[in-house]
Amino acid sequence: MLQKDTASILIVEDEQSARILMGRIAERHSNKIYHATNGLEGLEIYKKYKPDIIITDIKMHGMDGLAMIQKIEDLGLKKPIVILATAYSEAEYFIRAIELKVDHLLIKPLEAEVLDEKIEKSITILQNSNENKKLKLLLELQTKKISTIFNFQSNIVILTNGNEIKDANQAFLDFFGFKNINEFNTIHKSIQEFFISGDGFLKYDTEEISMIKKVIAQNDIEHLVKIYDKKRESERIFVLKAAIYPEEDELYIVSLTDISDIEKNRKLLRALSTTDKLTKIFNKFKFDEILTLEISRCKRYKTPLSILMFDIDLFETINDSHGSNAGDQLLKELTNIVKPLIRTSDSFARWSNDEFAIILPNTTLESAVVLAEKIRELVENHSFKAGNKITISTGS
């Protein structure tokens, strides 16, 4: 154990339980412990006492840990050894941490043994009077830190100069099935080779550097890419983000975050909000949305637009005689026999209980009347499972 008067330590943490834990561990190594509940308090203590080591959380009220470290640097004060503790895994925080040259990164919930080890290592650095050894150790820690940050990420993270990949995390190697970066670069020139084209997805660019610069310039836009996952044998959707690597103008950090499950849920919710639960055709909400668009289109291009509506005659009588289940079955059966008459450009919707509506773009009134008659005859001649003869009333 090193001498307790070797280094002073500042703990900046807004959670009392975490602050107490950090304090108990720090007391094993130092008699000079200072406490702060946010970055503002921590900054004032640092300006007054200049502690050698700072152990800080990222997110705190008032001023976060990274902002505090940045302020210390801006003020030109002696740079402390920084141990950063966080429960967050967003790439933004890690990029900022790299920019500020944070010495150690710990993931919450904290493990006492790990924090103890980091403090001891930090004090060892302070005690090392040999500048060459110190620089070498700092370089090793920096390399290990970057590797830890990369491999902690569950999303794919790569470093590239736009011509080839210089480094990547384990998630990248696991997903694409390579043992190392050299193996990837021997076979492939660009990660774009794996992109699947499609509407709404980032397009392949002959020069990867152009694609990266475009993403950086449009950082407020969600750039989506689609890549085939050999292990799952399915297409996966990723959000692609890029940034210039700190202090390296010709090196870029690119991350791919898998949102396939989120996108799948989005589509499901979208379908549920626009589809009639019983008949599986559009509901009135979706009908109104499409109608607004079609009216705008027909006015702009001066094309015909028709709307056909029909309802089931004496539907309430069927419900009263055979029950609501029979009525539901009838609605589903009627929908299924009418569907083949609907063009892909048309929109078929359940308007209300037993009322249906069809939007017919580029269709004259005469053509709509012809379709209405076809549907009327089809329904009248169909043998429904309920056994009743069913007729409808139409209008267009």
Alpha-carbon distance of 67 to 236, in angstroms, equals: 36
- The whole-model pTM stands at 0.39
Alpha-carbon distance of 322 to 213, in angstroms, equals: 66
What's the burial of 16, exposed, middle or buried (CB within 10 Å: 0-12/13-18/19+)? exposed
Name the token pair of 7. 């280094």
Judge contact between 304 and 364, C-beta under 8 A. yes
Residue listed under structure tokens 């493990």? 111
Domain ranges of the chain: 8-152, 156-265, 275-395
Three-state secondary structure string covering 300-316: HHCCCEEEEEEEECCHH
Averaged over successive runs of 10 residues, the pLDDT of the chain (396 residues) comes to 72 92 92 94 94 91 91 87 78 80 85 90 75 65 65 78 87 90 90 87 81 87 88 87 82 87 67 83 91 93 95 86 85 95 95 94 95 95 84 87
* Helices 91-99 + 65-74 axis angle, to 10: 20
CA distances from 64 to 34, 58, 85, 355 (A): 17, 5, 12, 58
How many Cβ atoms from other residues are within 10 Å of residue 138's Cβ?
A: 15
CA distances from 209 to 164, 168, 240, 242, 297 (A): 10, 17, 14, 11, 39
User: If one looks up domain 275-395 in CATH, what number appears?
Assistant: 3.30.70.270
User: If one looks up domain 8-152 in CATH, what number appears?
Assistant: 3.40.50.2300
Is residue 54 within a helix (H) or strand (E), and if so which, with residue range?
A: strand 53-57
Q: What superfamily would CATH give domain 156-265? A: Haem NO binding associated domain (3.30.450.260)
Instruction: Determine the straight-line distance between the first and last CA of the chain, rounded to whole angstroms.
Output: 90
